[in-house]
Structure 1
Amino acid sequence: RGITIDIALWKFETARYYVTIIDAPGHRDFIKNMITGTSQADCAVLIVAAGTGEFEAGISKNGQTREHALLAFTLGVRQLIVGVNKIDSSEPPYSESRYEEIKKEVSSYIKKIGYNPAAVAFVPISGWH
């Protein structure tokens, strides 16, 4: 189906840190596995789709973006990075105004749940390019 079902781990070291990347599922049917992965994290990368309609669905009252951000904070993850994915599919492609709109809305929500938006890195990304 093209979705992550279980968590996956990758490990590497830097001069100062031991790093473990945990890829946790985002699909609603596998939320238990997402919780398992997130509960082990020091930092979370929240991927938000920039596509028209996709972002709006995720940030809506019962959307996955809201649920994942809230779960991460509730599970003790205090460092957050937001990847604004599929920015190439915005109109026009790589639209700065769409990126800023998403950043503003996500910042507003994560502030309500306890994150400091000024300390959250927002990164426009594209898996396509």
Structure 2
Amino acid sequence: WVLDKLKAERERGITIDIALWKFETPKYMVTVIDAPGHRDFIKNMITGTSQADCAILIIAGGTGEFEAGISKDGQTREHALLAFTLGVRQLIVAVNKMDTTKWSEDRFNEIVKETSTFIKKVGYNPKAVAFVPISGWHGDNMLEESANMPWYKGWTKETKGGVVKGKTLLDAIDAIEPPVRPSDKPLRLPLQDVYKIGGIGTVPVGRVETGVIKAGMVVTFAPSNVTTEVKSVEM
């Protein structure tokens, strides 16, 4: 809800367009891209997901909600497949609304088992995925360990550097491995959008896929072959 700033989003209770938000963890400066889950706005979800280094798959733990999401035409299944197809190789699974399940260990284990099976079919290795039971509404296991789920001993995942352990969603975010950036290659920056801002000028927006960009550089836009100078860069 915090990131759903459009009037229509708040009235309908759904995310329509992507929204970006920055926060700092003990280890990283993180940019969250809030992507729509609704099937009508899947093109916006693709725009956001294609820029991510890691996907956080939010699964509703409520009775019937999880089952609908991973059904044949469910959005949980489609989003996991799209994330993998778009090259996002790291995944965190947050099982939300644990408060509605009365903090049930059996329900969490059931969801982990089912989810592991389908993300494996998509291409992810479940052993390299952190599964975290959370309640976004109450804040359980988001930043601090929850007192409502004493049965939860934390998540473990396999990485190139060995086994990593943690308790909260914040821990899982801090356990993301930053991908190697090909900064030695020529600049390639796919455009997400272009804004015209009064007093500033034309502002192209996107993610640097290869190379580097800095003020003073001369860049060329394809396919129009327009060349211009970079005045400033903002993150």
TM-score (norm 1): 0.93
Partner of 2:126: 117
Where in structure 1 do 4 or more consecutive aligned residues deviate above 2 Å?
A: 11-19
Partner Cα distance (1:73, 1:28) in 2: 18
**Aligned residue pairs: how many?**
127
Q: Which has the higher contact order (CA 8 A, sep 6+)?
A: 1
Q: Which consecutive unaligned segments of at least 5 residues does structure 1 have?
A: none
RMSD between superposed Cα atoms in Å: 1.4
User: Which of 81, 95, 116 is the equivalent residue of 1:107?
Assistant: 116
Return the index of the structure with the highest Cα Rg: 2
Partner Cα distance (2:36, 2:80) in 1: 14
User: Which of 61, 71, 77 is the equivalent residue of 1:66?
Assistant: 77
Partner Cα distance (1:2, 1:15) in 2: 32
Report the structure, 1 or 2, having the larger helix content.
1
Equivalent residue runs for 1:70-85 within 5 Å? 70-85=81-96
Residue 29 of structure 1: CA displacement? 1.0
Identity in percent = 82
Partner Cα distance (1:102, 1:6) in 2: 28
Partner Cα distance (1:9, 1:77) in 2: 17
1:14–1:123 distance in 2 versus 1, CA, 3 Å: closer
Residue 11 of structure 1: CA displacement? 2.4
Residue 58 of structure 1: CA displacement? 0.4
Residue 16 of structure 1: CA displacement? 5.8
Partner Cα distance (2:120, 2:18) in 1: 28
Equivalent residue runs for 1:10-89 within 5 Å? 10-12=21-23, 17-89=28-100
Query: What SS is found at the alignment partner of 2:112?
Result: helix
